[in-house]
Chains A and B, each alone.
Chain A
Amino acid sequence: DAKTTQPPSMDCAEGRAANLPCNHSTISGNEYVYWYRQIHSQGPQYIIHGLKNNETNEMASLIITEDRKSSTLILPHATLRDTAVYYCIVRGSGSARQLTFGSGTQLTVLP
């Protein structure tokens, strides 16, 4: 699985969009980008995933660059409850394999 690089921490004002970057320059063609988050003292929560097209669901949007070497998770209107550690994970599909977690980005939403 390709290695990912994320900033260790970010702040965002409540109600504003939170844009969390992730670099995955060694990603291969069949690897997906997954985003999970972990609120303090809870298990990780799935947010979104994508291969090469931008994706949107009720939680967030995922923007993947054309060369697929980086992506951005967008929380359109951050709330205090979005304060969490956000993990960007790159992994191939087609098999039931584990997720390997990096250090993630601690997002703090400020009132």
Chain B
Amino acid sequence: GAVVSQHPSWVICKSGTSVKIECRSLDFQATTMFWYRQFPKQSLMLMATSNEGSKATYEQGVEKDKFLINHASLTLSTLTVTSAHPEDSSFYICSARDSGDRGLGANVLTFGAGSRLTVL
């Protein structure tokens, strides 16, 4: 089945530094990927929709200049948390849909294992 790989799985950084998280679709192409954020004991909240070859679409309240998204190929999207602060500490999860799937499975999203960011 479809596999989405995220890297790193966890990262600790100092306040003020930038952190990049990669999301790769390993065995399928994805024109669209989604980035979610999850705080402890809360549900997943959509941050942005990443579109291959074009600008990402951000949800209300998500700063696009702080959370930079790049989707330069059909198998890779990156999320960069710029000038990270302790309040950015969270679990970041990406998901993707197989662009070539035209059946009923066309709307099944595959999720990565997540990346836990801790900002000191």
Contacts and interface: CB of A to CB of B under 8 A. Distances in A.
Interface of A: 32, 34, 36, 38, 41-46, 49, 87, 91, 93-104
Contacts of A95: 107
A45 B111 contact: yes
Interface footprint category on B: 20 to 34
Contact of B43 (A42, A45, A103): A103
14 contacts: A41-B91, A41-B114, A41-B116, A43-B93, A43-B112, A44-B95, A87-B43, A98-B49, A99-B34, A99-B95, A101-B44, A101-B45, A103-B43, A104-B43
Nearest to B47: A98
Most chain-A CB neighbours within 10 Å: which of B4, B107, B114? Answer: B107
A101 B37 CA distance: 11
Contacts of B91: 41
Contacts of B32: 96
B107 A44 contact: no
